[in-house]
Structure 1
Amino acid sequence: MKKILLAFDGSNASEGAFEFARRLNELSPILLTGVFLPQAELANLWSYADGVGSPLMIPLVEPGESELIKENIEHFEERCKHSGIEYRVHKDFFDLALPELKKESRYADLLILGSEIFYENIHAGSPNDYLEDALEDVKCPVILVPEKFDFPENIILAYDGSEESVFAIKQFAYLFPELTKKETLLVYISNEAEEDFPDKIQIEELAARHFNNLTMSKLDIPKKHFSTWASEKRSAIVVSGSYGRHGLSQLFKKSFVNDLIAEHWLPVFIAHK
């Protein structure tokens, strides 16, 4: 059984994120922990500087928003009961310091986030600091889920030869053995037609041991076009590494899945060390 965190903007619970968790529970029972945070504070929590000597307290919640959060918690509990999901609700997060909230992800196998709440009121195609900061210090893999999606029937492993991309592939296989039987495409994107597939023998030996229906392909397209290419693959999930030594925030500065996340086309699995 996996422990999965479901983090909500407390006043705008993501139906897409819950639905993804529900489908995972159908494959294999999970423990689902709902974390409900005030909207303004969820946007700011992760941006506070690390290394502060005293605990950082979350500001008070407006009364009207508090009622909305309570309603969403009740809705979450009702849906979990109806779906037969074992669950927990952390109702005391308003009083916890930032380090405690980050620590929660250390004791989880996976964090699921509704991606669209992170992209409100920003320029199209450019992830905001909110999402970057929120993901940088997460201690477990993350799945970003659009509100409308098809549950994965095929898997796209985004590979660039880096240690981070290989790590993400392994983490996905370890976490979701139930999905590894599905049609899987390991894709290497290169701007140069003559460029070799990096460590092709080694990655094939690894991936083929975990993914039963594996195909490998080298795409001779600009990396900036990867998102458009992937968006045409229905019922897929994209597996991506962080592509940077400074954590997941580097994904949005360098990765070719940037637009894919920003446009909410497909669920995206991200893992970093």
Structure 2
Amino acid sequence: MPRTLITLDEQINDFPEKIINLNNKIFFESYVPSIEGILTTKPKNGNHIDHKSLEEIVVEEDSELKEHIGQLKLKARNLGIKFKYTLQEHNTSDIIEKTVCKDLLIMTYNACFDYISGDNSSQLFNILKESKCPIMIIPSNFDEINELIFTYDGKETSFYAIKNFCYLFGNKLKDKEVSILSVTSNLEEEIKYEKNLMNYIQDIFKNVGLQRLVGEDTSKEIYEFALQFNNPLVVMGAYSRSHISHMMVPSAAREIIFKKKIPLFIAHR
């Protein structure tokens, strides 16, 4: 059973409902999907809020939110989707722990940036680094995918991200146009396993093309390329461990994330 985890901002709006609606046309092909939403609430006045008092806040102080959650549960049940939500204090450890048994973590940019205070992005990037499943970061108005952009630099991490995406979405999105995008310092630079990757993707998707861009600023090139399309999704092997130090090394995804506009799929080993 495919299992999806969604982080919800305090406004909650209609994002979870969009995810439920999208499930049948974008997400998993078979089995009964399971969607869990995490409503993250920031501690008030700097005081610690335990799970019991957080539950009371939602039940007693926010009847509108309670009603919306009830409607989401009903809608999901009518579509054959298992949906539940969890309340938690504003921290990252619970999210990371839950990703162990999930197939996908979905975060809106609004929810992502709830984890950033000033210039401190350590909490957000800790989620990206430590997540045990792939992550999608998307705008709240996300409702369609028309173009897939697979970023590829010849490294195992980018191939790994593409394989994960194909596993989760290949059957549903096989008719979408795919661009395999590589950014190099010159046109003569060799990209390892490019032919093998092309063959792999063509076995799944019907419309696949190679795109080579020359530039030194990888983030800028990827971002500007994606902006050419209507409703693109960029796939990146954004965070990889060093074989020597096992430290996490951020990649071009960082600057794209801070622009808060392009939907991203991020996976790492």
Interval containing the TM-score (normalised by the shorter chain)? 0.7 to 0.9
Q: Is this contact kept in 1: 2:139–2:262, CA < 8 A?
A: yes
State the match for 2:69 in structure 1: 76
State the match for 2:47 in structure 1: none
Q: Equivalences for 1:190-269 in 2 at 5 Å?
A: 190-222=184-216, 223-225=218-220, 226-245=222-241, 250=248, 253-255=250-252, 257-269=253-265
Query: For residues 59 and 133 of structure 1, what CA distance do their matches in structure 2 show?
Result: 26
- Residues 233 and 272 (structure 1), Cα distance of their counterparts in 2 relative to 1, 3 Å cut: same
State the match for 2:5 in structure 1: 5
Q: Structure 1: where are the runs of 5+ without partners?
A: 42-56
How much does 1:204 deviate? 1.5
How much does 1:90 deviate? 4.2
Matched, 1:171 2:164: yes
Over residues 39-63 of structure 1, what are the superposed CA-to-partner deviations in whole Å (9 max), with x where a residue is unaligned? 349xxxxxxxxxxxxxxx7796496
How much does 1:110 deviate? 0.8
Query: AA paired with 2:82?
Result: Y
How much does 1:267 deviate? 1.3
- Residues 172 and 224 (structure 1), Cα distance of their counterparts in 2 relative to 1, 3 Å cut: closer
Matched, 1:33 2:36: yes
Over residues 76-122 of structure 1, what are the superposed CA-to-partner deviations in whole Å (9 max), with x where a residue is unaligned? 3313423534233244656xx97665332121111111112323676
- Residues 244 and 219 (structure 1), Cα distance of their counterparts in 2 relative to 1, 3 Å cut: same
Of the structure 1 ranges 193-202 and 156-165, higher mean CA displacement relative to structure 2 is found in 193-202
Over residues 246-273 of structure 1, what are the superposed CA-to-partner deviations in whole Å (9 max), with x where a residue is unaligned? 7xx957x322x33332222221111112
Query: AA paired with 1:35?
Result: I
Matched, 1:152 2:145: yes
Q: Structure 2: where are the runs of 5+ without partners?
A: 45-49
Query: For residues 208 and 214 of structure 1, what CA distance do their matches in structure 2 show?
Result: 6
How much does 1:237 deviate? 0.6
How much does 1:8 deviate? 1.8
State the match for 1:89 in structure 2: 84
Q: Is this contact kept in 1: 2:106–2:137, CA < 8 A?
A: yes
Query: AA paired with 1:37?
Result: T
Query: AA paired with 2:96?
Result: K
Query: For residues 219 and 236 of structure 1, what CA distance do their matches in structure 2 show?
Result: 17
Q: What is the aligned counterpart of 1:108 among 102, 105, 117?
A: 102
How much does 1:215 deviate? 0.7
State the match for 1:46 in structure 2: none
How much does 1:216 deviate? 1.2
Query: AA paired with 2:24?
Result: N
Q: Is this contact kept in 2: 1:154–1:184, CA < 8 A?
A: yes
Query: For residues 205 and 61 of structure 2, what CA distance do their matches in structure 1 show?
Result: 43
Query: AA paired with 1:220?
Result: V
Query: For residues 209 and 69 of structure 2, what CA distance do their matches in structure 1 show?
Result: 39
Query: For residues 39 and 234 of structure 1, what CA distance do their matches in structure 2 show?
Result: 34
Query: For residues 194 and 7 of structure 2, what CA distance do their matches in structure 1 show?
Result: 37
- Residues 254 and 22 (structure 1), Cα distance of their counterparts in 2 relative to 1, 3 Å cut: same
- Residues 127 and 258 (structure 1), Cα distance of their counterparts in 2 relative to 1, 3 Å cut: farther
State the match for 2:21 in structure 1: 22
Over residues 221-247 of structure 1, what are the superposed CA-to-partner deviations in whole Å (9 max), with x where a residue is unaligned? 33142212212221111111124217x
TM-score, normalised relative to structure 1: 0.77
- Residues 82 and 231 (structure 1), Cα distance of their counterparts in 2 relative to 1, 3 Å cut: same
- Residues 234 and 127 (structure 1), Cα distance of their counterparts in 2 relative to 1, 3 Å cut: farther
Query: AA paired with 1:23?
Result: L
- Across the two proteins, how many residue pairs are aligned to each other? 250
Q: Is this contact kept in 2: 1:17–1:114, CA < 8 A?
A: no
